[in-house]
Structure 1
Amino acid sequence: MRVYQGRLKKGSYITNVDTGKKTKLARIVRMHSDEMEDITEAGAGEVAAMFGIDCKSMDTFSDGSLDLAMSTMFIPEPVMSLSVKPAKSTMQNNFAKALNKFTKEDPTLRVKVDNDTKETILSGMGELHLEIYIERMNREYGVECITGQPNVNYKETIGSLQKFEWLHKKQTGGAGQYAKVIGYIEPINDEEKKELGKVNSFENECVGTNIPPEYYSSCEKGTFDAMKEGALVGCEVEGVRVVLQDGAAHAVDSSDMAFRTCMANAVRDAMRKANPSILEPVMAVEVNVPSEFQGAVVAALNRRMGLIMSSDMNEDGSGIKVLADVPLSNMFGYSTELRSQTQGKGEFTMEYKKHVQVNRNIQEELMKKYREEKEADNAA
């Protein structure tokens, strides 16, 4: 923990601003590599370790008199996922403990359960990132894991403006469902997304009460329901502005659920017609190698569809640094290839840069694979 203001004293109480939980400081230590030195207090600017505190990374603590939270660092969305499960059912408790601890200490690691397959999906910033946590589960918690194939987190977007007019009408024994919405969807660029602070936008331009105002929030929820699964490969949708202009309601049959369902179906149908495309994550890759391996390394990055941004030699001419933008789907197994190419002397790092549109042939392959998986699930 880093102290920003005041003094942290042994035996005093601190309050987690996020949860409101109050904890007594039983022990404070200063770390020197793997050695610990017990201290009675820590002042502003110092970094100290504490024991028995239930918290997660980026939590703010105060003495209880202040209710202000420090701004957190930027946490990028995960770009790679894989399914993971313990090798034996007896390891399930330790498996859950490990995932709970890891997600608290690392905000870029995400865990979710797939609704269809009921598999546990681990998502992170790359192949190595996930491999490290799989290894830590084995080493620290004695949980041997079975992992599935890594999946790249693709996204979908649209390429043109598309109007929609959708009627949702359902009559059952009792009260039915009735809703009608009219409007359009259009793409938004990266600059607009930054200004909005979100990847999709809903705007209400309705005039009058053709759609009663109490149903506007249901229309917005329906819009974001549609964004969870795209028309091409079932991935999240981003870069779409939805504008609601008009509609109609029924005095008896209209409801929140009717408008939510109507809006979701209207947006899904419009996205299919709005020149949709698939986006893939591109990584900023930095490779450091001795200069005699420059040709082999650049050729390998080109084979992986990488775009070389720069290739600079260091001051004494012994090594070079290559910067490239490479699609994440082409980076699997690169660490092994780099070691064999450079006799173990090369090293690389990569971080997420942006999502870009995939080539048409890759898009067709992904759509074909998605259709086959859906058919297999339906057959099962």
Structure 2
Amino acid sequence: MSNPACSQFFLGLISGTSADGIDAALVRFEGDDAPLRAELVAARTLPWQPDVRARLVWLGQGGALESLDELGELDAQVGEAFAQAALAILAVAGIAPSQVAAIGSHGQTVRHRPYAAHPFSLQIGDPARIVERTGITTIADFRRRDIAAGGHGAPLLPALHHALLHDPGEHRAVLNLGGIGNLTLLPASGAVRGFDTGPANALMDLWCHEHTGRPYDEAGAWGATGTIDTALLERLLGDPWFAQPPPKSSGREHFQRAWLAPHLRNGMAAADVQATLRELTARTIADALRANQADTRRVLVCGGGVHNPALMDALRLAMPGVALASTAESGLDPDHVEAMGFAWLARQTLQGKPGNLVTVTGAAGPRILGAIHPA
């Protein structure tokens, strides 16, 4: 097994709830939790093969495969794809596998059920295959331990957000606009908190694909041609999940087509629904921020939604008096913060340090996360 004290680099891999590609980030860390310095050495997003992505999206939205054989084969395929992503980023960076202490692989979430009678979160992407193909110690399965300790297993990156983005001079928040939105609350002093807010891009992507054939609404242009349907918005906001206090988390298996369908009415223009889904994202985030850290002065945004000007404008309107900016202004590439996070979690695990925050997930205590698969 690589010794993290003798290796500078960690590699993070994740495919988020949108399943739009595998994000790979090669990171060099210096220092401890405070201050922590993280240099993004190289990063890229590798697209999924269309047939694999279709199955991942189907599963993530609550669909079922026909057999355990199919699930097992998909787990193997995802593992192979993650391994190729790791090798590709090393080739880009000109870094040998022997220079990498560990890979932190989140895998692909296909179910997240923190409210089940027996709570669980299931990610696929066989880590043994990543080890075999890369020769690098791989740490995976980060969510199970927190869930076993009574937590949600999510969100897992608020501790890193605090280490890199906290400012003792102002109350801040970090907003991740992936398929599902989540907030990390960074008060000037005091405990860090974090939680999911509901759909960010998931429903907009789904609706856009259904009505235009495109995987997402680029720059929010199509939705910008529509008008918000206030009656539809109020029906959507009526879901009791939005009113639940933290800790809370969710996934595409909740906010998916079957969730949206009962709220639609005949004759609705598709672009109007898209505009309303954009407003749903903005409203639920703004409401959550006001309810949990009303004196926030700055929100730093990462994830794919940062590239949607219509959504960013909607957020600004919903949060007057709050400065909204990309994490790029603080030196963090907004497209690769999550992948950097799993590189950091791998480092935490190898150093025997907890990766969760009990004020975020609700677990019984700090836990070292992930299963180590030695090279």
TM-score where L is the length of structure 1: 0.21
More strand per residue: 1 or 2?
1
Q: Higher Cα Rg: structure 1 or 2?
A: 1
TM-score where L is the length of structure 2: 0.21
Structure with greater contact order relative to length (CA < 8 Å, sep ≥ 6): 2
More helix per residue: 1 or 2?
2
